[in-house]
């Protein structure tokens, strides 16, 4: 009987506790939790497979070690760890500078702030795409290397400054002439803004992705690098094989044919709110596909 009464009392207290807990929860609390969860999800996505991921693991280890040293009464170690963590806040801002910049740029490129490419320019994007496709087809056929960067919402003014300024209307013939081998502009990147070639022979940052295949050359690594720091769309033509590739948002799609490239460019550049490529477009494909 005593055991039954005790169980009944415990259940009553548990029910009262849960009732009071849920009674005091407001709708704003659910919204608050959802926002925090969404923010953590985005942060994890930004640091995944980057150097910051390893640093986060190290920070978690230091926090656990600090708490453990306090529980065990290791006061000297605890004092050192606490002071290290305090000074480490400033160091984190320096170490995480690329990730913080990328996060702020990602926020700035959100649909709330962005304007569509059609609203941004008066020229028809289809005409620009047709000229690019015409040039890429010939470049691929002749196995002429090319690196074409199409600016979207994120300005690439700092990249343009590294090359030779042109400000010329996009045309297939001009693209072919720029990427002719053994010319001054052949090895650099071309920057296209709206319907104009703003510069050629530009230097791009190389990707920091450690999981990239060693078979991918410098031209492809540069194309990936600029898409990790901006929302640009990059078309790469291999000098060795003539294979057409595309880089967007730090992902690389290889072995594209002309029809696929045209459709992707139309989808990426003609929408009022540019949509990212579907995930399966970025899976590595074999030549037999």
Q: Give, for all 289 residues of the chain, the pLDDT tens digit.
A: 566 677 777 778 777 777 776 667 778 877 888 898 888 887 777 666 555 666 777 778 888 888 888 888 888 888 888 887 777 667 666 766 666 666 666 666 555 444 444 344 445 678 899 999 999 999 999 999 999 999 988 888 889 989 999 999 999 999 999 999 888 888 889 999 988 999 999 999 898 787 888 778 899 999 999 998 888 999 999 999 999 999 998 889 999 999 999 999 998 887 544 444 443 444 444 443 3
Residue 10: other Cβ atoms inside 10 A: 10
Q: Which pLDDT score is estimated for 38?
A: 87
Q: Which pLDDT score is estimated for 81?
A: 83
Q: Which pLDDT score is estimated for 275?
A: 44
Asked if 195 contacts 121 with a C-beta cutoff of 8 angstroms, the reply is: yes
Whole-model pTM: value is 0.61
Q: Which pLDDT score is estimated for 26?
A: 75
Structure-token match 């400000």, residue found: 167
Q: Which pLDDT score is estimated for 52?
A: 63
Q: Which pLDDT score is estimated for 54?
A: 66
Q: Which pLDDT score is estimated for 9?
A: 76
Tokens, residue 65: 């070690």
Question: Quick one: which of 269, 209, 261 has its CA closest to 235?
Answer: 261
Three-class secondary structure assignment of 13-81: HHHHHHHHHHHHCCHHHHHHHHHHHHHHHHHHHHHCCCHHHHHHHHHHHHHHHHHHHHHHCCHHHHHHH
Q: Which pLDDT score is estimated for 224?
A: 92
């Amino acid at each position: 009987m005593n055991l039954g009464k005790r169980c009944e009392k415990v259940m009553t207290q548990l029910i009262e506790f849960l009732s009071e807990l849920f009674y005091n929860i407001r709708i704003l609390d659910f919204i608050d939790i959802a926002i925090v969860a969404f923010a953590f999800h985005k942060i994890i996505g930004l640091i995944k497979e980057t150097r910051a991921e390893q640093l986060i693991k190290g920070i978690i280890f230091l926090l656990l070690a600090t708490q453990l040293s306090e529980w065990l009464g290791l006061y000297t170690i605890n004092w050192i760890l606490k002071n290290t963590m305090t000074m480490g806040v400033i160091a984190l801002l320096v170490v995480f500078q690329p990730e913080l910049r990328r996060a702020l740029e990602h926020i700035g490129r959100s649909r709330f702030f962005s304007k569509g490419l059609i609203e941004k320019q008066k020229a028809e994007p289809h005409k620009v795409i047709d000229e690019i496709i015409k040039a890429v087809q010939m470049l691929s056929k002749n196995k002429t290397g090319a690196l074409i960067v199409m600016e979207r919402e994120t300005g690439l003014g700092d990249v343009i400054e590294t090359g030779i300024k042109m400000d010329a209307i996009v045309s297939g013939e001009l693209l072919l002439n720029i990427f002719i081998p053994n010319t001054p502009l052949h090895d650099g990147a071309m920057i296209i803004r709206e319907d104009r070639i703003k510069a050629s022979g530009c230097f791009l940052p190389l990707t920091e992705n450690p999981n990239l295949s060693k078979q991918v050359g410098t031209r492809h690594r540069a194309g990936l690098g600029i898409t990790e720091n901006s929302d640009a769309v990059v078309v790469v033509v291999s000098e060795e094989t003539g294979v057409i590739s595309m880089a967007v948002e730090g992902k690389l799609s290889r072995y594209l044919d002309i029809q696929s490239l045209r459709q992707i460019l139309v989808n990426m550049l003609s929408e009022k709110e540019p949509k990212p490529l579907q995930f399966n477009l970025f899976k590595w494909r074999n030549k037999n596909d």
